Structure 1
Amino acid sequence: MAPELERRQPPVDPRLWRYATASRSFLLLIGLLALAQTAVVVGFAFLTTRAVVDAIAGREIAGTLLALAAVVLLRSVLSFARERVAARASARVESQLRAAVLDAIARLGPGWTATRSTAQLALVAGRGLDALEPYVGRYLPQLVQTVVATPILLAVMGTADAVSGLTVLLTLPLIPIFMVLIGLATRSVQRRQWDTLTHLATRFAETVQGLSTLTVFGRQHRAADSIERVTDDYRRETMTVLRVSFLSGFALEFLASISVAIVAVTIGFRLLDGSLSLTVGLFVLLLAPEAFLPIRQVGVQFHASSEGVAATRDVFAILDEAAAATPSAPAAAAVDRGAHVLRLTDVRVRDLPPVDLEARSGEIVLIEGPSGAGKSSLLHALLGFAPATGRIELDGRDVRTLPPSAWLAWAGQRPGLAAGTVASNVSLGDAALPAATVAEALSLVGLSDVDPEQVLGIQGAGLSGGQAQRVAVARAIARHLRGHAPVLALDEPSAALDAAAEAHLWRSLRSIADAGALILLVSHRTTARAIADRVVRLTGAGVSV
């Protein structure tokens, strides 16, 4: 976001109402509680004044003290209610925004996420939304309290004593002016802190992911030094935020104290010359700090919520991008069983040559070509992982109107296994997958000797590279066996296999195709030609069949 836009950002981002509906009723309820709290503050000042004046005059004050105790109790109850409502509302707002962010990422699709840092997205959806708790639970309620209480208290003071009311009215704007000036500085340094934290999270995630490669090439220490430098930057930015926060806190307290002192001095002189009664003077003097308190607390809570405010920029940026994108089609049911025709017409991925292709059920279409010719990119276009022009149709329907899970099963070059059992990896996306289907899929890829209940570590730790690759292929086959995917797209499924395992896999794929599957097979292995019905060769100049 440009600095000019940041300076124009209102105290409450209006997008909050649009994306988190819980915030609407929450602020209404907070407003009602603020009104009640303001009435209690006025009542407390009035009863305290009456008790003091009556005590000086020697009158009975037992009833007044009893009423004063009731007001104090009510004030405590209202404060507790506000904290409780704010805590519950902030949890609901966070939950709604997190669900909205995840839905937005899903609607933007894998092609969008492929261009983003997963560590940054995780940070935004995790800590970024957690940081909204002070913003929603403290800053917004205090802002509402200020909007409601300050005008009422000024009106009450002005009615009781016009001079004191005018003094507060003239000195009160000094606090917002300084708040705006300090707030601009705070927003800038907080933005830098959040950006540094995002950079640190991304760098750390990338380093951990590539640690084995870095170690082999002796670069692990340099990576650690880089993380240390970014951590140092984050520490410095954090200390800058704290310095600005302490400075602003001092400035606001100093201005409020000076303003209250001016009111107190004027009241004192008028009490001495007899132009002001003790009742009115004491009442106004008790209200003066309360008039400045809400706006002082807004400054305090703004700094406490500054990280959440900085995080909302990234949160709303994702939501706005998803809202501006073409609305996604409603989730469709799986494509019916039967014969199918997949047709690609002038499909161009990035700057690669256009591809025209037609494949039918029962066929294995082998896609060959040199590295960089666009074989994997073509499969990514089918999945929505990569933007493409042209038309991709299944039985005459544009596949962009179908979720990939409704018609396509895929196994990529990276197995993409998760911690859990082998069976849970095979049944990913289909919790009701029968154990018999899991066993059949594993058998078809040559893993009948692998226990489906074997527990794997992160990224499939516990299996060899070839076994992990075959589990990924088994997952795609299992979806087809369940009738969820008439089309199988397999990207180098035998890259990590020996000759015997590869031959077993080719026989299984041929039998699956003969049973009605449409298989798009990307492979460098010349042995794949033996099972292919057609061979499509991608080159830098175009397509040959």
Structure 2
Amino acid sequence: MDENNGDGPAAMSGKPVDPRLLKYASASRWFFAAIGAIALAQTAVIVAFAWLLTRAVTGAIDGMPPAELVATLGALALMVAMRALLLWTREAVAARAAARVQTQLRTALVAAIGALGPEWLGVRNSAALAITAGRGLDALEAYFGRYLPQLVQTVVATPLIVAVMWWQDWISGLTVLLTLPLIPIFMVLIGLATRSVQQRQWQTLQRLASRFADTVQGLSTLKVFGRQHRAAASIERVTDDYRRETMRVLRVSFLSGFALEFLASISVAIVAVSIGFRLIDGSLTLAVGLFVLLLAPEAYLPLRQVGVQFHAAAEGIAATDDVFDVLDAARERARSAGGTARGAADDDRSGASGDGVAREKAFVERPGASGDGVLVLDGVRVRRGERLLQPVDLTATPATVTLIEGPSGAGKSSLFAALRGAAAFDGSAEWNGLDVRDLAPAGWLAWAGQRPGLLAGTIADNVTLGDPAPDGEIVRRALDLACAGALDPALELGVQGAGLSGGQAQRVAVARALYRHLRGKAPVIALDEPSSALDPETEGRLWRSLRHLADRGATVLLISHRTSARQIADAVVRLQPIEVLA
């Protein structure tokens, strides 16, 4: 895993709300509607509270009857309770919406990565994607709970409050209208600095995750070569970088909060001074002046809070940008595939007249096109960067074992990578008459690579990976066929299959592929050096198991350097280490 892989975090869009949020997370739509209604109610309560407080103060000065004053104070207390209730409702709605949006985006992200395929994922920083799907989307709680409600409150409350102030005292309304833009101007200036600082912090966090994952994965190798201390020092340096970036973000956040509070305080002071002078000369009544003065801070508060809460939500915003980039890539891939499919359909329709029947008959009679499960590779040349490997031709039919041989570097594993969608290739590769590029590998191919790829959990969990309804009997059967029958399926494994020897882990990986075939989900079995860590006796048992499965109808593709594999092979394909520049 390389920290330089992938595109890195996307730049924040600069928009208050990314429209892609509404497209990819339907839960956000009702959230905005609910928050808008709550903001409207909050504005009404704010105006009512200011009016009732003004009435109570001026009434007490003017000698309002006690009963009327008590009623006014009661209504004032009711407004306070309603404001608290609306705040609680807003937080509850925001928390629920954040949870639902997190779930929707995580689900969409996993589906998009699946649609983009292993080839796309192979050149991306998987640790960075994990951080985005985990901590990054968790940060949406601040985005939905603080930033977006304040943004909606600003859009709804500020114009209404300014309109009420203008209606009561146009001079105060004009003062607010002229000073109000200063806050967004400073927000933009500070936001530009915040964006770059936040991006550096996010990049450092992703680099730290990648470095840590690499170190843990290769810890045994590092220890053998005495490099573990240098790796730990590297992690320490990246951690220190992350600490500095975090402190820089906090400094900018505090500076932003101070600047916004200062501007709002000065603006309210200007309104207050203007009201004070006009109260002295008698051109403004106390009731109007007090009412407008109570509303003035409320006019600046929502916009001021947007700037403050933006910093709390910046990490969530950066994470959603990364998620949206992945979802956009998946949508573009689907659109391109749809266009190709439509073009093929148009070609079929254009040839339906005249020789159309003959063309259809020729297709049906081609090997593998009649649903007999034949795998046909014709001039398949796997791409590795800017290089094309040598072309491969083979035909693998059910009930056969096809052995693929060749020295290291000939492209044997790359060929399997192409079949499972992890590498691009030129030429034609069809299974059952269908292009393997258009097929989900899990629907026809059971694969076990040179790395076992085991996960934390039981052996049975690893063997039945991806099966929603595991079958214990088939688990034991698969383990027996993989020469791992002595292993307890209930044995708990650690991270990356810790608790098993190399040979045992390899056999469990083979059992996983055989289990998928025995469950009837993958007629083709592709095994890459499945006996490299086995002794000759165990290897012979594994070859007999594969021969047995082939005799029962399986299509077995086998990569092996062992000459003993030829004993069970029906066909041998020899690859040469030739690389051709594209």
Give the TM interval when normalised to the shorter protein: over 0.9
* Residue of structure 2 in register with 1:92 after alignment: 100
User: What displacement does 1:121 show?
Assistant: 1.1
1:115-162, Cα deviation, whole Å (9 max, x unpaired): 122211110100010111111221011000001001101110011011
**Matches of 2:225 and 2:541 in 1, distance apart?**
37
Q: Is the CA contact 1:190–1:241 (under 8 Å) kept in the aligned structure 2?
A: yes
* Residue of structure 2 in register with 1:343 after alignment: 376
* Residue of structure 2 in register with 1:496 after alignment: 533
User: What displacement does 1:7 show?
Assistant: 7.8
**Matches of 2:579 and 2:73 in 1, distance apart?**
92
Q: Does 1:34 align with 2:39?
A: yes
* Residue of structure 2 in register with 1:82 after alignment: 90
Q: Is the CA contact 1:379–1:489 (under 8 Å) kept in the aligned structure 2?
A: yes
**Matches of 1:338 and 1:55 in 2, distance apart?**
92
What residue identity is the alignment partner of 1:207? T
- Aligned pair partner of 1:522 in 541, 544, 559: 559
- Aligned pair partner of 1:409 in 419, 423, 446: 446
**Matches of 1:88 and 1:29 in 2, distance apart?**
12
> How does 1:302-321 map onto structure 2 within 5 Å?
302-321=310-329
- Aligned pair partner of 1:231 in 234, 239, 244: 239
User: What displacement does 1:304 show?
Assistant: 1.1
* Residue of structure 1 in register with 2:485 after alignment: 448
Q: Is the CA contact 1:442–1:471 (under 8 Å) kept in the aligned structure 2?
A: yes
| Cα pair distance change 1:131/1:480, threshold 3 Å | same
* Residue of structure 1 in register with 2:254 after alignment: 246
User: What displacement does 1:300 show?
Assistant: 0.8
> How does 1:125-140 map onto structure 2 within 5 Å?
125-140=133-148
**Matches of 1:383 and 1:427 in 2, distance apart?**
19
* Residue of structure 2 in register with 1:508 after alignment: 545
Q: List alignment gaps of at least 5 residues for structure 1.
A: none
Q: Does 1:57 align with 2:62?
A: yes
RMSD: 2.2
> Which stretch shows the higher mean deviation, 33-42 or 416-425?
416-425
> Which stretch shows the higher mean deviation, 432-441 or 400-409?
432-441
User: What displacement does 1:434 show?
Assistant: 3.0
- TM-score (norm: length of structure 2): 0.89
> Which stretch shows the higher mean deviation, 466-475 or 179-188?
466-475
Q: Is the CA contact 1:426–1:478 (under 8 Å) kept in the aligned structure 2?
A: yes
> How does 1:174-185 map onto structure 2 within 5 Å?
174-185=182-193
> How does 1:108-257 map onto structure 2 within 5 Å?
108-257=116-265
Q: Is the CA contact 2:201–2:245 (under 8 Å) kept in the aligned structure 1?
A: yes
| Matched residue SS, 2:389 | coil
Q: Is the CA contact 1:142–1:297 (under 8 Å) kept in the aligned structure 2?
A: yes
Q: Is the CA contact 1:339–1:516 (under 8 Å) kept in the aligned structure 2?
A: no
**Matches of 2:466 and 2:63 in 1, distance apart?**
81
- TM-score (norm: length of structure 1): 0.95
**Matches of 1:9 and 1:368 in 2, distance apart?**
54
- Aligned pair partner of 2:435 in 398, 417, 421: 398
> Which stretch shows the higher mean deviation, 356-365 or 413-422?
413-422
Q: Is the CA contact 1:45–1:287 (under 8 Å) kept in the aligned structure 2?
A: yes
Q: Is the CA contact 1:187–1:310 (under 8 Å) kept in the aligned structure 2?
A: no
**Matches of 1:458 and 1:336 in 2, distance apart?**
43
| Matched residue SS, 1:414 | coil
Q: Is the CA contact 1:354–1:542 (under 8 Å) kept in the aligned structure 2?
A: no
Q: Does 1:289 align with 2:326?
A: no
**Matches of 1:433 and 1:25 in 2, distance apart?**
39
Q: Is the CA contact 1:355–1:542 (under 8 Å) kept in the aligned structure 2?
A: no
- Aligned pair partner of 1:354 in 391, 398, 407: 391
What residue identity is the alignment partner of 2:188? V
What residue identity is the alignment partner of 1:357? L
| Cα pair distance change 1:8/1:404, threshold 3 Å | closer
User: What displacement does 1:400 show?
Assistant: 2.5
User: What displacement does 1:352 show?
Assistant: 0.6
User: What displacement does 1:511 show?
Assistant: 1.8
**Matches of 1:486 and 1:314 in 2, distance apart?**
37
What residue identity is the alignment partner of 2:42? Q
Q: Is the CA contact 1:160–1:284 (under 8 Å) kept in the aligned structure 2?
A: yes
